[in-house]
Chains A and B, each alone.
Chain A
Amino acid sequence: MGARRQPGAGKVLRGLAMRRPLKEAGVLLVIALTATAASWALRPDRLPLRADPAFYRLELDAPLIDPGPALALYDEGQDLFVDTRPAPPGSLPTIPGAVPIRAASFDDDLLDLFDFLAPDDPVILFGDGNLVPVSNIAARLKERGYGNVRILRGGIKAWIKAQGPVTGTASGKEGS
C-alpha cells in the first residue's frame, strides 16, 4: 500500500517508439510550412493572405470559370464571351469577339444577339473583376432562358494576366 507503480516496460517502449514519428512529423511539417511560404511568395497569381468573406459568401447566379480553362474554350471558339462592363463598346480593351450586354441596356443588347444566340449556347460573362454586377447579368440571362452561363473569375484583369488576347484602344491602357 502506498507503493508507487513503476511504468510498465511496454509503456516505456511505446513512448520511445512514438518519439521518433513525432520528431519526423515535425521535420516534415517545418518543410511543408517553409514550402508553403515560398510557394505563396513566388506565385504570380497568389491569393491574398487573408480571404475576403464577401467573396465567398456571395451566392453567384452562375458557376465561375478560371481564366486558364476559359482561354482554352476561347481557342475552341464554341463559347460566346460577353462583356458586362457598363462602358460603351470599344472604349475599353476587351476580348476579341466579345459582345456587350450591359445592365443599363440589357434588353437592347440582348436583342442584338437574338438572331444568333440560342438558349443552350455556352456563354462566358466577364466584367472588371467585381462579381456582383456580372452575377446580376447572369441572373437576368437565366430568367430569359439562357442557362449555360458561366462567369470568368477575376474578369478582364485576370484574363490579361493569363495572357488572353485583348483588343487595343487608342490610349492602349485599360480603364477601370
Chain B
Amino acid sequence: MMRWLGLFCRLAVGGVFVFASWDKLLHPAAFAAAVDHYHLVPYPLLHPMAYALPLLELITGTALILGLCRRGAALIAGCLTVVFMIAIGSALIRGLDITCGCFHTDGGHAVGISLLVRDLVLLVMCWPPLWLADAGPRVPFLCKKD
C-alpha cells in the first residue's frame, strides 16, 4: 500500500515539475520578467536563475518519474516548493498584483492563497518519495538500489 502511495506521489510531483519547467525553458526572457515581478532576486542573479531554475525543475521531475536518485530529487522538490511558497507568501504580504509564473510565463494564475494551498499539497506529496524505503519501480541504472 505504502509502495503505491510512494509511486503515486513520485509520479504526481515529478509530472508537475516537468510540466512547470517546459514553458520556462522555452521562454527564459519572459520567465526572468515573471521572477522580477516578485522583487526578490537581485539583478545579477536574475538571468542565471531564469536558466537554472527550469532545468533544475526538469531534472528533478524527470528523476522522480524515473525513480532515479528519487530521495535527492524529492528533497530538491520539497526545498523548491518551500522557496516558491515563501515567494508567493511574501508577494501576498506586500500586496503585489502579479501572476505567479509557475506554469505559464504568459499570464497564468494571479498570486493568491489558492497557490499556497496547492504548493502545500505538493510539499506534503514530496514526503513519501523522500522517506519510504520503497516508492515503486524505477529505471534500473545510475543510482544504487534502495
Chain A residues in the interface with B (C-beta under 8 A)? 17, 20-29, 31-33, 35-36, 39-40, 43, 46-53, 56, 64, 66, 153
B residues bordering A, Cβ < 8 Å? 27-30, 32-33, 36, 43-44, 46-48, 50-52, 55-56, 59-60, 63, 69-76, 130-131, 143
Chain B: minimal CB distance from A21 (Å): 4
Q: Which chain B residues border A46 with CB–CB below 8 Å?
A: 28
The binding surface of chain B is classed by DSSP as helix
Tell me whether A21 and B44 are in contact (CB under 8 A). Answer: no
Given B27, B44, B60, B131, which contacts A50 in the complex, CB threshold below 8 Å?
A: B44
Within 8 Å by CB of A36, from B32, B55, B71, B72, lies: B55
Q: Which residues of B contact A43 (CB under 8 A)?
A: 28
B100 to A: closest C-beta gap in Å = 17
Could you tell me the distance in whole angstroms from the C-beta of B61 to the nearest C-beta in chain A?
11
Bound Cα distance A53, B42 (Å): 9
With the chains together, A24 CA to B55 CA distance in Å?
16
Asked if A28 and B73 make an inter-chain contact with CB atoms under 8 angstroms apart, the answer reads: yes
Q: How far is the CB of B117 from chain A (nearest CB, A)?
A: 26
* Cα of A40 to Cα of B36 in the assembled complex, Å: 19
Complex Cα gap A39–B58 (Å): 13
